[in-house]
Amino acid sequence: MIKILVIEDEESVRENILDLLEAENYDTISAANGKMGLQLAFSEAPDLILCDLMMPEVDGYGVLTALREQTPTATIPFIFLTARSARSDFRQGMDLGADDYLTKPFTRAELLNAIASRLSKQAAFKQCINKNPNYETKAVSPKAQKLEMCLRHTLERREFRQFQIYYQPIVDLNSGRIVAAESLLRWQHPELGMVSPTEVIPLAESTGLIIPIGEWILRCVCKQTKLWHDAGFTFLHIAVNLSVCELMQPEFSQKIIKFLLNNNLVADRIGLELTESMIMQNVDCAFQNIQEINSLGVQIAIDDFGTGYSSLLYLKQLPVNTLKIDRYFIQNVASDPQKAAITTALIQMAHNLNLKVIAEGVETEQELEFLRAYNCDAMQGFLFSRPLPASEFEKMLREDKRLVVSC
């Protein structure tokens, strides 16, 4: 049975809502103030929360902020109930992560429709998560358990200063100039030291901890991109890797809008990178959310292309702007006939679909010349630069470092 927590300090309003919900066969719990509401939210793990905005001691904003800071309650659907209808109040609530906003007095139909809508989106999110093979129960090594404990502790204490975002340049092969960068997470733990991304990311995805991490990355990347644009690098496009549980979050597009608006950032300067296998885990969910995000102007790239199993039909239907060819096909491409055939076919196919092509993992001059010969649009890899801290990447921009363009 669906459990709904009602946090409302006016007893008559609270009782009316409880009676209405119980008549619809919802399991209900209630609190007369924000402090009690938080205690119930953490102990009872409700499926949805209805919360009054104006309450003594801890108001609705305070309740929502506390919930969103804790991983177990970070994704519980949250609906504000309030007599205040000012746009600024609405905006503040949405910025904090509210899912909806009902102005009193609301009708029975308005309340039930809002609840049904949020529960439906949350159910779709959970369905997508359950289909993700990363969430299967597996034997966990002591090392992995230690890593998870440290990661949870870091996030619970909101010690995001342990994280850093590195940027790997993406270079246009015609001009040789840096045109974009891929943002990459690094974790420097005080006890564990530098933890490899190949350990952090799968762990975060398998536990759902990637949601608060991903939100922090998006916020930081949007802020940093705006700083670079203000410094004169208005051409710069920054890509962020997205996990399946982030993509399937209810109202994920609203989160993107919030970060863009907060930084007065043009949407097409930010891109999201998705893998083929991630999209195919739930095609219908992925299509809807990708289309919604792309309609904002945010650029969409398919990462590690060629290693998944998506059909060309799906690729044609998706609102994709860029294909990134996986480094497996790029390594020794100039001397491996099979890789050469696949890579040239991928480039031609992408161009026929009006997509830009970026080659990943370029490490040798031979690989670079092959890509130029077959009209690949851009590259990234150690041949030009490793991923760099923001300050070092900015220095590279200011010095206008370029790839040597052959005559």
- What digits encode the pLDDT tens for the residues 114-131? 898 788 777 766 655 554
Give the whole-number percent of the chain exceeding pLDDT 90.
51
pLDDT at 289: 80
Largest CA distance in the chain: 80
The one-character DSSP state at 406 is P
Region of poorest pLDDT, from 2-11, 22-31, 104-113, 280-289: 280-289
pTM tops 0.85, yes or no? no
Check if the beta carbon of residue 70 is closer than 8 Å to that of residue 97: no
Residue 376 has phi, psi (to 5 degrees) of -65, 145
* Residue 135: pLDDT over 70: no
* Residue 5: pLDDT over 90: yes
Res. 283 pLDDT band, cuts 50 70 90? low
Average pLDDT of span 146-150: 86
Q: How far apart are CA 403 and CA 406, in angstroms?
A: 9
pLDDT at 392: 97
Res. 90 pLDDT band, cuts 50 70 90? low
Q: Is 81 helix (H, G, I), strand (E, B) or coil?
A: strand
Asked whether the bond before 105 is cis by omega within 30 degrees of 0, the reply is yes
